[in-house]
Amino acid sequence: MSETVWEFLGLSGKKALILHHDDLGLLQAQNAAYEALGFPTGSVMVPASWASQLAQHAWADLGVHLTLTSEWRAPRLRPLTSGSSLRDSSGHFWPSVEEAWLHIRTEEAEAELRAQIHAALAMGIDVTHVDTHMGAVLRPDIAEIYLKLALEFRLPAFIPESLEAVHLPAPLRRPIENLLDRAPLPKVRWLDSYPVPPAQKREWFIETLCQAGPGVYHLIHHAAIPTPEAQTLPDWEKRKSDYEALQDPEVRRVIGEFVLLTYRQVREALRRI
């Protein structure tokens, strides 16, 4: 399927880049960075307080950052639905993927993920794709739901060509790889700036993109303006360094060597094929 979509879009033999802003809606500082940078593609954490701010942007290319965890002490996120297995003792999503996978019941995960897509549409967001917060959909039964919802809503889903960078427990790796390999949806080459130390971020963007050969790349960043609100997160320096790197003229020059691709283009191609 991916080869057909990329050929349909005229990308064979070219370098294409989906520059993807994760965690939108989590902070006003995250949304402000999205507006300032001007790159249209990202995904919204619908249960977060500032999700509805994103609906006003006609130029936006926004997906749903399907959320089953609430990793930070603040802001904490609550499910949209009533499923008890989705919640810890405080009523919020479980803090870690491991806790979520241990407790969440399949049917309650499906109801919650479906509700998040419907809520984004109700906000007025023209949902162009789905992806996953913290990889929480990679439990095999939840991964099946993830793909099922993408097909039901006729949306592309973020599916990497390789899961080498994902530290899955050994018993889960083969079932997940087999499931994703069979999915009739396009796959991308995954690049993630999050593990990169802040001081090395600019050089990482330049070197990584300069070394990239032909293919379709999905590059994740978490840019946020370093306001007092943003500085409440333990990883705020990572988010600040993404914001600064993506403003750098040399980083932007290298990005300009790619065909900049949006998930709206991918969605429309999928719906036409």
Q: Cite the active site residues.
A: 22, 222
Angle made by CA atoms 169, 175, 179, in degrees to the nearest 5: 130
| Residue 104, both tokens | 């969440």
The amino acid at 13: G
* Dist CA 132 CA 146 (whole Å): 9
* Dist CA 37 CA 242 (whole Å): 11
CA atoms within 13 A of residue 189's CA, in its CB half-sphere:
13
Exposed e or buried b per residue across 89-126, where buried means at least 16 C-beta atoms within 10 angstroms of its C-beta? eeebbbbebeebbeebeeebbbbbbbbbbebbeebebe
Which among 267, 189, 220, 272 has a CA at the least distance from the CA of 14?
Answer: 189
* Dist CA 246 CA 227 (whole Å): 17
Helix 170-182 / helix 140-152 crossing angle, nearest 10 deg: 20
CA atoms within 13 A of residue 24's CA, in its CB half-sphere:
30
- Residue 225 — φ and ψ, nearest 5°? -70, 135
Helix 236-245 / helix 28-37 crossing angle, nearest 10 deg: 10
